[in-house]
Amino acid sequence: MADVPRGPWLDFERPIVELEERIRTLEASAAVSGVDAAGEVADLRRKAARLSREIFSSLDPWQRVQLARHGRRPTTLDFIERLFSDFQPLHGDRQFRDDPAIVGGLARLDGSPVLVVGHQKGRDTRSNLQRNFGMAHPEGYRKALRLMQLGERFGRPVITLIDTPGAYPGLGAEERGQAEAIARNLREMAALRVPTVAVITGEGGSGGALALGVADRVYMLENAVYSVISPEGCAAILWRDAGKAPEAARAMKLTAGDAHLRRLVDGVIEEPVGGAHRDHAGAALAVKAQLLDALAELTGKDAATLRSERLAKFLGMGEWTDGR
Confidence (pLDDT) at 90 = 97
Q: Which amino acid is at 25?
A: T
Query: Among residues of the chain, what percentage have pLDDT more than 90?
Result: 77
Beta-sheet strands, E only, within the chain: 85-89, 102-109, 112-119, 158-164, 196-205, 217-221, 225-227, 267-269
The answer to whether residue 36 sits within a structural domain is yes
> H helices within 123-242, ranges in order?
125-131, 138-153, 171-175, 178-191, 206-210, 231-238
Burial of 88 (C-beta count, 10 Å sphere; 0-12/13-18/19+): exposed
pLDDT at position 2 over 90: no
Provide mean pLDDT across the span 201-230. 96
Whether residue 263 is found in the same domain as residue 289: yes
Dihedral (CA of 8, 10, 11, 17) sign: negative
pLDDT at position 220 over 60: yes
Q: How confident is the model at residue 53 (pLDDT cuts 50, 70, 90)?
A: confident
| Average model confidence (pLDDT) across the chain | 92
70: CB partners within 8 A, 6+ apart: 10, 275, 277
Whether residue 86 is found in the same domain as residue 166: yes
Q: How confident is the model at residue 7 (pLDDT cuts 50, 70, 90)?
A: low
Helix (H, G, I), strand (E, B) or coil at 255: strand
Q: Answer yes or no: are the C-beta atoms of 136 and 168 closer than 8 Å.
A: yes
pLDDT at position 3 over 70: no
Residue 220 backbone dihedrals phi, psi, to 5 degrees: -125, 140
Confidence (pLDDT) at 23 = 82
Whether residue 33 is found in the same domain as residue 155: no
Q: What is the DSSP letter of 271?
A: P
- Cα–Cα dist 214/209, whole Å: 9
Per-residue model confidence as pLDDT tens digits over 143-190: 999 999 999 999 999 999 999 999 999 999 999 999 999 999 999 999
The pTM assigned to this predicted structure is 0.89
Confidence (pLDDT) at 6 = 57
Q: Answer yes or no: are the C-beta atoms of 120 and 100 closer than 8 Å.
A: yes
Whether residue 52 is found in the same domain as residue 75: no
pLDDT at position 4 over 60: no
Instruction: Please give the angle made by the CA atoms of 177, 181 and 182, to the nearest 5 degrees.
Output: 120
Whether residue 157 is found in the same domain as residue 262: yes
The answer to whether residue 40 sits within a structural domain is yes
Whether residue 111 is found in the same domain as residue 224: yes
Query: Among residues of the chain, what percentage have pLDDT more than 70?
Result: 97
pLDDT at position 324 over 90: no
Provide mean pLDDT across the span 72-98. 96
Dihedral, 236, 241, 247, 249 alpha carbons, nearest 10 = 30
Q: Answer yes or no: are the C-beta atoms of 120 and 75 closer than 8 Å.
A: yes
Q: Answer yes or no: are the C-beta atoms of 134 and 171 closer than 8 Å.
A: no
Residue with more model confidence, 82 or 46 = 82
Provide mean pLDDT across the span 26-50. 78
The answer to whether residue 285 sits within a structural domain is yes
Q: What is the total count of domains within the chain?
A: 2
Whether residue 104 is found in the same domain as residue 43: no
Per-residue model confidence as pLDDT tens digits over 265-289: 999 999 998 899 989 999 999 999 9
- Beta pairing class for 85-89 and 102-109: antiparallel
Q: Which amino acid is at 117?
A: V
Residue 27: domain span: 11-58
Q: What is the DSSP letter of 263?
A: T
Whether residue 94 is found in the same domain as residue 172: yes
The answer to whether residue 253 sits within a structural domain is yes
Q: Answer yes or no: are the C-beta atoms of 142 and 181 closer than 8 Å.
A: yes
Where does residue 155 fall: left (phi above 0), alpha (psi -120 to 50 degrees), or beta otherwise?
left
Whether residue 26 is found in the same domain as residue 92: no
Provide mean pLDDT across the span 248-273. 94
Q: At what angle do helices 178-191 and 138-153 cross, to 10 degrees?
A: 20
The answer to whether residue 320 sits within a structural domain is no
Residue with more model confidence, 48 or 239 = 239
Residue with more model confidence, 305 or 55 = 305
Dihedral, 93, 95, 100, 104 alpha carbons, nearest 10 = 0
Whether residue 84 is found in the same domain as residue 40: no
Core vs surface per residue 32-41: b (16+ CB within 10 A) or e:
eeeeeeeeeb
Residue with more model confidence, 184 or 22 = 184
Whether residue 83 is found in the same domain as residue 30: no
Helix (H, G, I), strand (E, B) or coil at 109: strand
